[in-house]
A and B are shown apart, each in its own frame.
Chain A
Amino acid sequence: MVGPAVALLFLMTIGPLLFSLVVSFTNLQFSTPQPMRWVGLDNYLTLLFNDSRFLTALGRTLGFVLAGVAVQTLFGYFIAWLLLHVNRFRAFVLGPILIPSVISSVVAGWQGRMIFNASYGPLNDVLAHLGIKGPAWLALPQTALLSVFITDTWQWTPFLALVILAALQSQPQELLEAARLDGAHGWSMFRRITLPLVLPVAGVGILLRGVDLFKTFDLVYILTQGGPGNSSETLTFLTYLQGFKFFNPSYASAMSFIQLLLVTIMAKSYLGLVNRRGAH
């Protein structure tokens, strides 16, 4: 009964990955008619030691992931905390709150294009009323990535709020009561009781978010195309450029394998962390 499903998945994942692993050790290019040659680790060595554009994108992406996870978890926690304390109408509020997380990222990007519009957008209009002159969000190297970040945070904070709410609701009430009787309150209550209980449950959601932030592509494509200059170029967007705009599949394959490795390490170490904390 598992056969057909496994066969299809195998054919569509392991197969192409092996194929691309082989390609990453060659100099295959679509733009020049040079004969394909085995180059060993050359692509990887160039990437890691000689390609500043790649290394910059790598650093930028890691920063994006860390900041995204931190900010979205914090906001998510706040929203979950608010919702936890209102019992009536919670279901009523939850639906609308979750809308951003279920819509297409292309639509989210399109909204960003209108809202961040420097001259005619509502954001700078509101800022002007507050006496602040808003920047040309998408056209400045200092704010382009920030705009992508804000859009992503808008779209995905509700998802984390939902997960953290579920985690908070799953805390056994007796345990909270007992801790309170023992004199735990405020910060010590949060650190010793709530956090260890919530982390394993919410951890999966935070992990998924981290992985998805690492893969950020759609919003960059719609909002900035990696620009101005390369200022908002994420790793997946650069890989896309190398593969499909510069027609350099071997180089792009090497790049995607480095990402695959990083995602795996991230996921593994994170799961280890969550399990250890949860065990206490």
Chain B
Amino acid sequence: MSKRFVIDLLKWLAIFAVLMVLLFPIFWIIASSLKARGEFFTRPPVWVPANPEWLNYPDSLRRGGMKGLIDSFTIAFFSMAISLVLGAPAAYAIARFQVGKKNLAFWILSIRMFPPIATILPLFVIFRFVGLVDSYAGLVLCYTVFNLPFAIWILKGFIEELPKEIEEAAKVDGATRFQIFRNIALPLTAPGLVVVALFTFIFAWNDFAYAVIFSGSNVTPLPVVIAQFAGGHEILWGQISAIALIAILPALVLATFLQKYLTRGLTMGAVK
């Protein structure tokens, strides 16, 4: 065996070990979601359930999981939609007409840095006053506050990469600024729009800090449902694992299909 072959083999073994460590908790959730009640209290623990208990899934949905799914979907969808509708024109203006370039950029980035708790407190007092606590609109507003800067920032990056010539030609032909934006720039930014749509959806879908404070009996996003389950008197291990697995499905879609853009999305476009 050549030396090179041995080194390659060692590297692949290391990668395999890393994968095992990183994916083990996911495997454990899948296994747990299929265990029967008794299989959670054995020593040594059951690694692969003997007879898959599929009923954990419908049961978890019936106990509040379905409501959580619908609420999370509604909130994440509207926050995504608003971020795109308000974010795209703003990004276009910043990229093409240098509107408030420097300050705006810094401000947008600092919103990402904010400890949420700093805005949650005053927002809670204000929301209580105007009746937005425990409402869909309240949470959509909260998420849009951190999704919108993200959308503007990422889309600005995508628009800056477009060649200016087409837009200039359209201008010569007498198109208005808004027509150029809508008919030329926007379709060309389609990949950027998809990236922003998926990421803003996931951010809102995954969030817990805002959700736990602004939810109530009317609105219960999925992470709050899971946390309530997990903090209850009687912990339903199988059902919680089932709903937790459902909760990570959108993220799995993201990791699989948008791999190319993951770095960009996760670093606010700082690394392409």
Contacts and interface: CB of A to CB of B under 8 A. Distances in A.
Nearest to B141: A12
B121 A253 contact: yes
Contacts of A240: 117, 213
A98 B144 CA distance: 25
A16 B122 contact: yes
A83 B87 CA distance: 35
Given A9-B148, A120-B40, A208-B268, A243 B121 contact: yes
Contacts of A159: 266
Contact of A103 (B113, B144, B251): B251
A96 B23 contact: yes
B186 to A, nearest CB: 12
A12 B18 contact: no
Given A6-B90, A106-B208, A111-B28, A163 B267 contact: yes
A239 B271 contact: no
Contacts of A12: 119, 123, 141-142, 144-145
A144 interface: no
A217 interface: yes
A212 to B, nearest CB: 9
B219 interface: no
A208 B150 CA distance: 13
Contacts of B99: 1-2
A236 B114 CA distance: 12
A184 interface: no
What is the size category of the interface that chain A forms with chain B? 35 or more
B241 A110 contact: yes
Interface in A57-102: 79, 82-83, 85-86, 91, 93-102
Contact of B121 (A104, A162, A214, A252): A252
B86 interface: yes
B75 interface: no
Contact of A95 (B108, B209, B222, B255): B255
A104 B248 contact: yes
A255 B247 CA distance: 33
A47 B252 CA distance: 43
22 contacts: A1-B93, A9-B148, A12-B144, A16-B123, A17-B122, A20-B119, A20-B121, A23-B121, A95-B255, A99-B26, A99-B251, A105-B208, A114-B32, A115-B25, A119-B43, A122-B28, A163-B266, A236-B117, A239-B121, A249-B125, A253-B122, A263-B115
Interface of A: 1-2, 4-6, 8-9, 12-13, 15-17, 19-20, 23, 79, 82-83, 85-86, 91, 93-115, 119-122, 125, 128, 154, 158-159, 162-163, 166-167, 201-202, 204-205, 208, 211, 214-215, 217-218, 221-222, 236, 239-240, 243-244, 249, 252-253, 256-257, 259-260, 263-264, 267
